[in-house]
Chain A
Amino acid sequence: MPSNLAICSWLENTRIGLGISQSIWIFPAIEMVHMFGIVVLVGATSILDLRLMGLMLRDEPVSRLAHATLRWAWISFTVMVVTGSLMFVAEATKCYNSAPFRLKMLMMVLAGVNALIFHSFAYRGVKWWELGSTPFAAKFAGALSLIFWFGIVGAGRWIAFY
């Protein structure tokens, strides 16, 4: 079984990897789409998070807002995974060795676990609390989610500096 670094090296040397890294404009173009995706994804998750924390749009039923925002979140998340994967393939070794990149991936896992726990437990009973003030579990999940997603964006920007 080849080492992770060997896999990274192999990825970088595939036709896709080389095609992206050797082109003047392809990588920046992919990165730009990644950036626009951030606005949609983090915008959508932040709106829901702020609602869960009871800080915004308090008159909006949570389930209705969740339905609307999560649709945008999933679509943009798909775009992010595709563009992110393409950029990773082009610079696999650098990303693999990058501390900010690893932190970013860890926070994405944590954000996912946070969402999973929230949806499996507190959100189950959303019909009971979606019109009044939100339960502590929802506020906590919302706050964690905000911290994680903005942390992910920050770590992403930091990759270039390390």
Chain B
Amino acid sequence: MDMLSFCHWLQSTGWAVWIKESFNVFPALYVVHIFGFILLVASTSILDMRMLGWWVRGRSVSNVVDLTLPWAKVGFASNFITGVVLFATHAVDMYTNTAFRVKMLLVLGAGLNILLFQITTYRSVEEWGQSEATPPSAKVTAAISLFLWLGIAAMSRVIGFTGAQQ
């Protein structure tokens, strides 16, 4: 079964139809999705600012990570769950929507960016995390992260405007 057929099947399941047509559940899911977005992007942006040496002063990088990571995880988990459910209700439209596909690629990119950072520069955070000045690689990671998360938010808005590919 190819992806498109799967999407057709998914959005025709009983619960997907019920959610899509319900008066309150569908909007409520979107609202929770926005809350998660606020939690996630606020957390990552604060960490990114610290790594760029902007605004957040007086706290080591590890300290900022400790403070923001739990919130980022909650926001991401919440958005992953609501996102899957929201996707299911309009699976075919989402799957064929260019902005949605770009958004998913950007999310993957953001994850890879974090992973790469963790296995390289972040390994030595004890050496450089205390000072205001951060290594260039940390700055690059943070800039990419800011760009990606804002891009993800922007793509989300565009999803409603670009129609299906076919």
Cross-chain contact B45 with A56 (CB below 8 angstroms): no
Contacting B at CB under 8 A, from A85-133, are none
Number of B residues near A (Cβ < 8 Å) is 20
Cβ-neighbour of A42 out of B27, B30, B42, B55 (below 8 A): B42
Give the distance in Å from the alpha carbon of A42 to the alpha carbon of B31 in the complex. Answer: 14
Residues of chain B contacted by A154 (CB below 8 angstroms) = 31, 34-35
Q: Mark A12-35, 1 if CB is under 8 A from B, else 0.
A: 000000000000000010011001
Contacting A at CB under 8 A, from B41-89, are 41-42, 45-46, 55, 67
Give the distance in Å from the alpha carbon of A46 to the alpha carbon of B71 in the complex. Answer: 12
Cross-chain contact A157 with B42 (CB below 8 angstroms): no
Interface 9-residue window, one of B7-15, B101-109, B117-125, B150-158: B150-158
Give the distance in Å from the alpha carbon of A36 to the alpha carbon of B41 in the complex. Answer: 9
Give the distance in Å from the alpha carbon of A46 to the alpha carbon of B40 in the complex. Answer: 13
Number of A residues near B (Cβ < 8 Å) is 20
Residues of chain B contacted by A161 (CB below 8 angstroms) = 26-27, 30
Cβ-neighbour of B67 out of A43, A56, A153 (below 8 A): A56
Q: Does chain B have a CB within 8 A of A5?
A: no
Give the distance in Å from the alpha carbon of A35 to the alpha carbon of B30 in the complex. Answer: 14
Cβ-neighbour of A43 out of B27, B31, B45, B158 (below 8 A): B45
Cross-chain contact A43 with B157 (CB below 8 angstroms): no
Q: Does chain B have a CB within 8 A of A57?
A: yes
Residues of chain A contacted by B34 (CB below 8 angstroms) = 38, 153-154, 157
Chain B interface (Cβ < 8 Å from any Cβ of A):
26-27, 30-31, 34-35, 37-38, 41-42, 45-46, 55, 67, 150, 153-154, 157-158, 161
List the 10 closest pairs (A to B, CB-CB), nearest first.
A43-B42, A161-B27, A154-B31, A39-B41, A157-B31, A32-B157, A157-B34, A42-B38, A39-B42, A158-B27
Q: A68-B55, A157-B31 are in contact. List 18 more A-B contacts (CB 8 A).
A: A28-B158, A31-B157, A35-B153, A35-B157, A38-B34, A39-B37, A39-B38, A39-B41, A39-B45, A39-B153, A46-B38, A56-B67, A57-B67, A150-B35, A153-B34, A154-B31, A154-B35, A158-B27
